[in-house]
Amino acid sequence: MTRIAFVGAGSVVFTRQLLNDILSYPELSGVDIALHDIDPERLEVAAALAAHTARTLGAKPTITATTDRRTALAGADFVVNMIAVGGHQATITDFEVPAAAGLRQTIGDTLGPGGIFRALRTFPVLDAIAADMLQVCPDAWLLNYTNPMAMNIQYLAAVAPRLKVAGLCHSVYYTVKRLCEIVGVPQDEVDVLSAGVNHQAWILRWQHQGRDLYPMLDVAIAADPELARRLRIDMYRRLGYFPTESSEHGSEYVPWYLHDDREIARLRLPVDEYIRISSQNLATYTALRDTITAGGDPAGDWESTAVEYAPQIIHSLTTGTRRTIQITTANTGLITNLPDGAAVEVPATLDRLGIHPHHVGALPVQLAAPNRHFLNVVELVVAAATQGDPRHIRHAAMADPATAATLTVDEIWQLCDDMVVAHGEALPEPLRRTLPAVRGR
């Protein structure tokens, strides 16, 4: 029987969507589901939602829930990672401390101070998950949804190279869906090639029956001035290829927008957006918990078909059904003008033998340039953790495009000190030192 372990199952809405997708496949309706979370209350809610989902679909999986991670992982074929270390309060810290220094963020989970410190407090848990997996389920695939995606995948490649890991994100799917809506072409009839890094990949080819769809997008933009007031459209018009992440996300990875009030107004950039999203997620969880506690029906909205990649991977590797999806993985010559070993996002074929990333070749030079800036930050954060060197935290923040466009180097170092103090023991012990004096070496 296929065994699937969910780590961070207390992310109950996402857990419910994944379980709906998995159990919708007849071949997976009897799988063994192991739910794990460190929060007993959230775990109880997740278990109740899992049971409800199974009943709704007429599936008969075996469902267990445990706060002991090794018990959940034992014998797993697939491990789905959704942890959010520090939860809502850590998210508040990731925004409030940089904001006090004069730095704007929108999502704060990928680059910038928010992404850097989210990674540093997540790495110790990834270490523990990897160590457990190599002992109790060494052949399992770790399917990671936790951000910052590129930092987490590059870190795991460095510290646990024997672990089979794929980073998963639905941004390419929903980007293509939106683009097809704009030009009026059915999404299931288009052919797409996308590559780059997670949250900053690019739609390199987008065709319908062999016809390039970009000219149709140009016509749609010309006909609708409001479309031009979106950052992704602005970047597309300047770089020639559409970026795969939302305008909110994308604004944080380049030095061109967030430091300027006029650009924020022109492109309608929602500063502090993720604080609102995190608060909404907390309210959704609370409502689900209260409904379940009262004995009510926790029915809710979810996609009717499997659009998340983890269920597709599990189904393909179990049944041999061939599919192509997007994954984040270590660059082994897949994108030739991005650094070897860096975490890149590329297409991958799924079958019974595993996950097979595609060789893409060289990106257009104007796309590789911002990707390399992005990956400079990733490399320095991973170096900080693997070398135990707190200076590299500051180097990463200095290399971050949006941070460097806003703050002086002294302000960046002070911000890093403030973030270290604010997150305290959530960080690896060697990285908890403040560095008020600048000593180059």
281: CB partners within 8 A, 6+ apart: 13, 88
Per the CB < 8 A criterion, the answer to whether 422 and 382 are in contact is: no
Which residues contact residue 168 at a Cβ distance below 8 angstroms, ignoring those fewer than 6 apart? 143, 144, 145, 308, 309, 310, 313, 325, 326, 327, 328
pLDDT at 303: 54
Q: Where are the beta strands (DSSP E) in 352-428?
A: 354-357
Instruction: Report how many domains make up the chain.
Output: 1
Q: How far apart are CA 63 and CA 34, in angstroms?
A: 6
| Given 52, 88, 170, 358, the catalytic residue | 170
User: CA 413 to CA 396: how far, in whole Å?
Assistant: 10
Predicted local confidence at residue 277, as pLDDT: 85
C-alpha triplet 154, 419, 39: angle, nearest 5° = 70
User: Token pair 């650094």 is at which residue?
Assistant: 339
Tens of pLDDT, residue by residue, the chain (441 residues): 899 999 999 888 889 899 999 999 999 999 999 999 999 999 999 999 999 999 999 999 999 999 999 999 999 999 999 999 999 999 999 999 999 999 999 999 999 999 999 999 999 999 999 999 999 999 999 999 999 999 999 999 999 999 999 999 999 999 999 999 999 999 999 999 999 999 999 999 999 999 999 999 999 999 998 998 999 999 999 999 999 998 888 999 999 999 999 999 999 999 988 888 888 888 888 888 888 887 777 766 555 555 799 999 999 999 999 999 999 999 999 999 999 999 999 999 999 999 999 999 999 999 999 999 999 999 999 999 999 999 999 999 999 999 999 999 999 999 999 999 999 999 999 999 999 766 555
DSSP SS3 for 271? coil
Residue 47 within any structural domain of the chain = yes
Residue 133 in any domain: the answer is: yes
Q: Which structural domain range is residue 81 located in?
A: 3-96+107-167
Separation CA 409–CA 25 (nearest Å):
53
Q: What is the DSSP letter of 146?
A: P
- The whole-model pTM stands at 0.95
> Contact at 8 Å (CB) between 105 and 98?
yes
Position 299 scores a pLDDT of 66
Q: Are 166 and 141 spatial neighbours (Cβ–Cβ below 8 Å)?
A: yes
Q: Does some domain include residue 268?
A: no
Beta strands in 95-228, from DSSP E residues, in sequence order = 141-144, 164-167, 190-197, 200-208, 211-212
Give the containing element (helix H, strand E) for 9.
Answer: none
Rounded-to-10 torsion of CA 112, 345, 122, 300: 100
* Residue 86, Ramachandran bin (φ over 0: left; ψ between -120 and 50: alpha; else beta): left
Give the integer Cα–Cα distance in Å for 159 and 131: 10
| 123 assigned to some structural domain | yes
**pLDDT value for 280:** 87
Phi and psi (nearest 5°) for 365?
-60, -35
CB under 8 Å to 185, separation ≥6 — which residues?
208, 213, 216
Residue 170: active-site member: yes
CATH of the domain at 135: 3.40.50.720
What CA–CA distance (Å, rounded) separates 365 from 333? Answer: 16
Q: Is residue 11 part of a domain?
A: yes
- Please report whether residue 12 resides in a domain: yes
d(CA 382, CA 156): 9
Residue 252 domain flag: no
Q: Are 247 and 230 spatial neighbours (Cβ–Cβ below 8 Å)?
A: yes
3-state secondary structure 319-359: HCCCEEEEEEEECCCCECCCCCCCEEEEEEEEECCEEEECC
Tokens coding 303: 């996609």
- Report if residue 54 sits inside a domain: yes
Strand pairing class (354-357; 211-212): unpaired
Burial class (CB in 10 A: 0-12, 13-18, 19+), 335: buried
Residue 7 belongs to what H/E stretch? Answer: strand 3-7
